[in-house]
Amino acid sequence: MSSAALTQLSEEDALFQASVRQFAREQIAPHVREMDEQAHFRPAILEQMFALGLMGIEIPEEYGGQGGTFFQSVLAIEELAAVDPSAAVIVDVQNTLVINAVLRWASEEQKRRWLPRLAKDTAASYALSEAGSGSDAFALQTRARLDPGGDWLLEGRKLWITNAQEAGLYLVFANANPEAGYKGITCYVVERAFPGFQVGRKEDKLGIRASSTCELIFDGCRVPAANVLGEVGKGYKIAIETLNEGRIAIGGQMTGLAHGALQHALAYAKQRKQFGKAIAEFQAIQLQLAEMATQVEASRLLVYNAARLREAGKPFLTEAAMAKYFSSIVAENVASLAVEVLGGVGFTKHYPVEKLYRDAKIGRIYEGTSNMQRITIAKQLLG
């Protein structure tokens, strides 16, 4: 299949992509700088993202969602990231981690309880990492103890939790049977109002500053048995399987970021004049632009390929790891080149490429660091 065919979208996907692009450019772009400076995501934009269905893309229509596909979630994240990678990660966590897990693991009764809220107005978080367990996620120390009354009591702290400030629901991984090791890990759905739960310190970050990243504190947090997602002791499976899919969407986020940086560089190169002509007329600038475009295209191909394999129910683990690993390199490279093409102004906050350059760094860290992606790829190579 030629590359043109691989990045070709169906009519429906192309319309969807165009609508997200228009929304991002018209409604988000004017506020990106201010949200970055204030490290705060405008509630009105979050409301608009709900109204447009972007916070419930894959939720079936019978539960109030859009009835869309995983591939469309990736497309939406890519388009949002071209304008604001913070908006993209909010949509990423909501759709490809939380809703994905609920769709696959919740009972019918639980779906009826949570999906309509997630589609309509409730942002959600995915809480796996802790201070002592990042790459080694299953070493988590948050504990769940069964109360004689049948409820679970959660004790511990989570760190680095995206969407924590805005969320109403939290998917929380805790160990209900530490003697069983990772086979004690269980996934609980925690409501923000549950007694014994609070959102703690918010991180002050290098990039994606408008996306909230907070600590979660569980101090004897009481969770009804009806809020266990899947089975007790099967949380590790939920965590692995959702993260395997989520990282394809992070590939989409990084591809979108790189695409956004390229567009800014192109526009600037055509209008900036030096030595009596537009800098786009200098072959050295053309080579830089060509390099950026090639990297963006290669990144997109890897991401779409992994997303389509997942959609088709085929193995995608290695392809997803390659997509995330490569696209995060591309995002850093392309954003860096964009800063150079813009020269001095590229280094200032007057143009968006400085922020995209800072935002790109997160692609090599969350949802599995670059080292962890390469370990996954090497395992497949070596058998």
Query: Annotated active-site positions, please?
Result: 367
Quick one: which of 206, 208, 218, 94 has its CA closest to 159?
218
Residue from 45, 93, 262, 306 touching ligand FAD (CB under 6 A): that is 93
To ligand FAD, the closest distance from the beta carbon of 129 in angstroms equals 3
Contact call for residue 126 and ligand FAD (CB under 6 A): yes
Closer to ligand FAD by Cβ: residue 22 or 135: 135
- CA separation for the pair 327, 250 (Å, rounded): 8
CA distance 171 to 97: 9
Q: Site mask, ligand FAD, residues 233-252, x = CB under 6 A?
A: --------------------
Binding map of ligand FAD across residues 25-64, x = CB under 6 A, - = no contact = ----------------------------------------
Nearer to ligand FAD, 126 or 326 (CB): 126
Closer Cβ to ligand FAD, 118 or 128, answer by number: 128
Which region, left, alpha or beta, applies to residue 370 given φ > 0 means left and ψ of -120 to 50 means alpha? alpha
Nearer to ligand FAD (CB atom), residue 129 or residue 227: 129
| Terminal-to-terminal C-alpha distance of the chain | 27
Beta partners for residue 189, in sequence order: 171
Window contacting ligand FAD (CB under 6 A); options: 11-19, 99-107, 228-236, 368-376: 368-376
Residue 214 CB partners (closer than 8 Å, separation 6+): 161, 164, 165, 199, 200, 201, 202, 203
* Binding status of residue 129 toward ligand FAD by CB under 6 A: yes
| Cα–Cα distance measured from residue 261 to residue 256, given in angstroms and rounded to the nearest whole number | 9
Least gap, CB of 84 to ligand FAD (angstroms): 14
Smallest gap from residue 160 Cβ to ligand FAD (A):
3
CB 55 within 8 A of CB 94: yes
Residue 228 to residue 234: CA distance in whole angstroms: 10
Smallest gap from Cβ 243 to ligand FAD, in A, equals 9
- Of 186, 332, 366, 373, which lies in the binding site for ligand FAD, with binding defined by CB under 6 A? 366
Query: Least distance from C-beta 15 to ligand FAD, angstroms?
Result: 30
Q: What CA–CA distance (Å, rounded) separates 251 from 262? A: 17
Q: Among all residues, whose Cβ is closest to ligand FAD?
A: 134
For β-strands 124-127 and 169-175, DSSP reports them as: parallel
Rounded Cα–Cα distance for residues 24 and 75 (Å): 13
Give whichever of 86 and 333 is closer to ligand FAD, judged by the CB atom.
Answer: 86
What is the C-alpha to C-alpha distance for residues 252 and 256, in angstroms, rounded to an integer?
A: 6
Q: Where are the beta strands (DSSP E) in the chain?
A: 124-127, 143-146, 152-162, 169-175, 185-191, 197-202, 213-223, 228-229, 273-274, 277-278
Provide the phi-psi class of 169: left if phi over 0, else alpha when psi is between -120 and 50, else beta. beta
Query: Which stretch, 103-111, 129-137, 264-272, 345-353, contacts ligand FAD (CB under 6 A)?
Result: 129-137
Among 227-235, 260-268, 328-336, 359-367, the segment contacting ligand FAD (CB under 6 A): 359-367
**Residue 161 lies near ligand FAD (rule: CB under 6 A):** yes
Our CB check for ligand FAD shows the closer of 127 and 169 to be 127
Rounded distance between C-alpha atoms, residue 317 and residue 310, angstroms = 9
Interface pick for ligand FAD out of 365, 378, 379, 380 (rule CB under 6 A): 365
Distance CA 274, CA 162 (A): 43
**Which of 134, 184, 246, 260 forms a contact with ligand FAD (CB under 6 A)?**
134
Return the number of the residue (240 or 375) whose C-beta is nearest ligand FAD. 375
- 127 touching ligand FAD, by CB under 6 A: yes
Q: Which residues bind ligand FAD (CB under 6 A)?
A: 93, 125-129, 134-135, 160-162, 205, 208, 213, 362, 365-367, 369, 371-372, 375
